Chain A
């Protein structure tokens, strides 16, 4: 490195991208060290929107949020699930340490109600976490939600379709989730605050179905023809 470049780097007025800005932005840890490292030690931002972009359910997206849900449960705050695509299964949640009585599931009929409900949940001081599965959101609507989120200082996670990755979004954190080959979850950070995006990491989430880390199958073959079973 040339001498003049070294000299430049010592100048405090030069912003250096590899050091995440030490901001007092409130955040909740994700509970996964690998992901926290990639997010500059911050985690889920509070008072801002986060987006998870994924193609289909069942790739470990809820397990990604599970440590956060447990933390919210410990703080005695409420969780709201807005328009979940399937039924959240109460026995599994209770078993994972998420008390069912702190969780409220809301179904709305039209997009206007959806936005209204989400805004109200976000602005309330009782809310700890809002998880929402919107069908279609205009950029203007996300902006509106971002403002509501700032007012309430809560964590809000939107689960959206991966096709919207190209669309611009005012959300503070955008994660693209793709299933890996070994029951793991590949995370691609599309956007984050305070530093440049593009980091990737992989979380092993095989334990969500009780699968041993080596992935050895524990299937007992039945008395039926062991075909591909369709």
Chain B
């Protein structure tokens, strides 16, 4: 077995920097806000180092942007990285807080050798603008130690790995502080010197845990890693250093997330029709926007167009400090139907979905209606408005010839008849229904011509009032 460890030295910084392109030195401080934990390259050129006190750092760089470490956020970020890494390697394991193991001996044939695997991963990391240190090792721990110290290279040679490991200082080996001090007092400074100690003595004089760790590094004790499985959802978050006040600022971050969503969907061979966008504000409750497309969709640019419309319609209530895009609903992808390989005709079904989605995004879902007949004797209940669905998925529920003669226009509420009609044409048609549900209707309907020349559908109800209920348009 050969393990590859990807170490992210400052994941939180990378994540924040790619959501907002405006430069400036960045540093992560611990939860108490006392000490610096991670620094970006720009900050380190200013002389800021991890472990420094915050006050000192601010003295060196007054413009320093500060992020507070949040373990939960880091864990979810790491999971995001594992998700795309999972496309390259089948067996991966998370090492919180800042790394991922991938088992690579099984990948060599697929990629055509170790250098190819290494190169593919480095390219993928560069595309995502992430800082990461890679290392190979014959055991998970060996790979991890090499990566964390930045000494990893692309070589699977057992002897070479052990030699590099042997040169590592004890501090880099991840022993606990007490054991480290005792080893130092014994005059041991590098890992190689610890390796040479007899195992029995090591366990007796120091501790069995230390021996276990040494053996796991060397590979003489099994160190099983359970494989990680990607969750069946998409969840991406962008945090902003400076609060975003305009929609345009959100679109930059959304563009990247949507591109990742498209890649994710392509890789899953799936589509989606619902996106949930949550905008976090500093002092107010989060804004939740649900974007629905009428049909399955996976392209980033069409999502972006719809989101732009949605955001234009709904101005930001307050400056945004972070946004989250989540997709939980995945649909299997269907092959485009009714189109040959070389056909240049547009896919009408797709065009229909695009149009309806666009209209719904700007006007709201309620603005679009489809009207359907319903089986009821009462004219106002003989139709129903429903959400828009493609024509092909609908079956006509009623036989057209069985429907009674009715006007094309129906007034939403009957209007009192103000003028006496000039001519009466037919009637009465008595409609008496609704005694079963409390909406009682008892009317006699006539067709009559009003003085201005229009044909009206008028009725006289049981209380002797005359009303217009429709127009023969």
Residues of chain A touching chain B, judged by Cβ–Cβ distance below 8 Å, are: 55-63, 76, 78, 84-97, 99-109, 113, 116-117, 120-121, 124-127, 178-181, 183, 208-211, 215, 217-220, 222, 224, 228-230
Pick the 3 closest A-B CB pairs, nearest first. A179-B453, A58-B471, A58-B454
Binary flags per residue of B409-422, CB closer than 8 Å to A gives 1, else 0: 11110000111110
C-alpha spacing A109/B313, complex, angstroms: 12
Q: Is A104 a contact partner of B388 (Cβ separation < 8 A)?
A: yes
CB atoms of A124 and B351 under 8 A apart: yes
The residue from A60, A91, A105 contacting B472, defined by CB atoms under 8 A apart = A60
Chain A residue contacts of B358, Cβ below 8 A:
120
A116 CB to nearest B CB, Å: 7
Query: Given A126-B355, A209-B407 in contact, is the A106-B453 Cβ separation under 8 Å?
Result: no
Expressed in whole angstroms, the minimum distance between the Cβ of B49 and any Cβ of chain A is 56
Contact of B371 among A58, A61, A90, A116 (CB under 8 A): A90
Contacts of B417 in A (CB 8 A): 229-230
**Chain B residues, Cβ within 8 Å of A220:** 427-428
Residue of A nearest to B352 (CB): A126
User: By the criterion CB–CB under 8 Å, are B408 and A62 in contact?
Assistant: yes
Contact B371 A57 (CB under 8 A): no
| 7 A-B contact pairs sorted by A residue (CB < 8 Å) | A61-B473, A89-B406, A91-B406, A95-B401, A183-B455, A211-B425, A217-B426
Q: How far is the CB of B63 from chain A (nearest CB, A)?
A: 43
CA separation between A110 and B460, bound complex, in Å? 37
Q: A86-B411, A224-B464 are in contact. List 16 more A-B contacts (CB 8 A).
A: A58-B471, A87-B371, A89-B410, A91-B373, A91-B398, A95-B404, A96-B408, A99-B391, A100-B372, A104-B368, A109-B363, A124-B352, A181-B453, A209-B455, A215-B425, A219-B425
Distance in angstroms between the alpha carbons of A222 and B398 in the assembled complex: 32
A100-B372, A120-B359, A126-B348 given as contacts; is B425 within 8 A of A95 (CB)? no
A95 touches B406 (CB 8 A): yes
Counting CB contacts under 8 A, is B295 at the interface?
no
A106, B367: Cβ atoms closer than 8 Å: yes
Q: Which residue from chain B places its CB closest to the CB of A227 in the assembled complex?
A: B420
* Residues of B within 8 A of A (CB-CB), count: 70
Q: Does B341 contact A (CB under 8 A)?
A: no
In angstroms, how far is the closest chain A Cβ from the Cβ of B230? 37
- Quote the shortest CB–CB distance from A68 to chain B (angstroms): 14
How many Å lie between the Cα of A131 and that of B363 in the bound state?
Answer: 18
| Residue in A closest to B466 when the chains form the complex, CB atoms | A229
Stretch at the interface among B74-82, B147-155, B196-204, B444-452: B444-452
Q: How does the 8 Å CB contact mask read for B431-473 relative to A, with 1 for contact and 0 for none?
A: 0000000000000101101101111110010001010001111
Number of A-B contacts (CB under 8 A): 213
The smallest C-beta distance from A63 to any residue of chain B, in angstroms, reads 7
CA distance A42 to B453 in the complex (A): 29
Assess the A89–B407 pair: CB atoms within 8 A.
yes
Judge whether A218 and B472 touch: CB under 8 Å.
no
Asked if B72 is at the interface of the complex by the 8 Å CB criterion, the answer is: no
- Asked if B400 is at the interface (CB within 8 A of a chain A CB), the reply is yes
**Contact between A103 and B371 (Cβ–Cβ < 8 Å)?**
yes
Q: Tell me the complex Cα distance, A185–B159, Å.
A: 99
- Among B383, B454, B456, contact of A91 (Cβ-Cβ < 8 Å): B383
Specify which of A91, A104, A106, A230 is in contact with B403 (CB 8 Å cutoff). Answer: A91
Report which of A76, A86, A126, A230 forms a contact with B409, defined as CB distance below 8 A. A86
A72 to B427, CA, bound (A): 33
Q: Are A57 and B409 in contact (CB under 8 A)?
A: yes
A183 and B403 contacting across the interface, CB-CB below 8 Å: no
Q: Mark B60-95, 1 if CB is under 8 A from A, else 0.
A: 000000000000000000000000000000000000
> Which one of B372, B379, B404, B425 has the greatest number of beta carbons of chain A within 10 Å?
B425
Contact assessment for A108 and B367 in the assembled complex, using a CB-CB cutoff below 8 Å = yes
Q: How far is the CB of A151 from chain B (nearest CB, A)?
A: 14
Known: A88-B371, A106-B368, A125-B351. A208 touches B472 (CB 8 A): yes
A113 and B367 CA atoms in complex are apart in Å by 11
Contacts of B471 in A (CB 8 A): 57-58, 86
In the assembled complex, B396 has its CB within 8 A of some CB on chain A: yes
Closest beta carbon of chain B to A69's beta carbon, Å = 10
Q: Cα distance A96–B473 when bound, in Å?
A: 12
**Given B363, B373, B391, B473, which contacts A58 in the complex, CB threshold below 8 Å?**
B473
- Also in contact, A56 and B454, with CB within 8 A (given A97-B400, A220-B428, A222-B444): yes
Kindly provide the distance from the CB of B450 to the nearest chain A CB, expressed in whole angstroms.
8
Would you call A92 and B408 a contact (CB within 8 A)?
yes
Q: B379: shortest Cβ distance to chain A, in Å?
A: 8
Return the CB mask of B346-371 against A: 1 if under 8 Å, else 0. Answer: 10100110111011001100011111
Interface presence of B171 (CB below 8 A): no
Per a CB cutoff under 8 Å, which of A61, A104, A127, A218 touches B370? A104
Bound complex: CA A108 to CA B354 (Å): 19
Contact between A230 and B453, CB atoms less than 8 A apart: no
A117 vs B453: C-alpha distance when bound (angstroms): 33
Given the complex of chains A and B, what is the CA–CA distance between A109 and B368 in angstroms?
Answer: 12
Known contacts A126-B352, A229-B466, A100 near B427 by CB under 8 Å: no
Picked from A101, A125, A180, the residue with its CB within 8 Å of the CB of B453 is A180
Judge whether B405 is part of the interface by a CB distance below 8 angstroms: yes
Docked-complex contact B455 and A230, CB < 8 angstroms: no
Q: Which residues of A contact B423 (CB under 8 A)?
A: 215, 217
Please judge, given known A-B contacts A56-B452, A100-B371, A209-B472, whether A117 and B363 are in contact too, CB under 8 Å.
yes
B370 touches A219 (CB 8 A): no
Chain B proximity of A32: nearest CB distance (Å): 16
Q: In whole angstroms, how far apart are the Cα atoms of A58 and B368 in the complex?
A: 24
Is the Cβ of B408 less than 8 Å from the Cβ of A89? yes
Q: B394 on the interface (CB 8 Å rule)? A: yes
Residues of A within 8 A of B396 (CB): 94, 99-101
B455, A95: Cβ atoms under 8 Å?
A: no
Q: Does B424 contact A (CB under 8 A)?
A: yes
Contacts A88-B409, A89-B383, A230-B419 hold; do A60 and B473 have CB atoms under 8 A apart?
yes
Q: Are B362 and A116 in contact (CB under 8 A)?
A: yes
- The answer to whether B266 has its CB under 8 Å from any CB of chain A is no
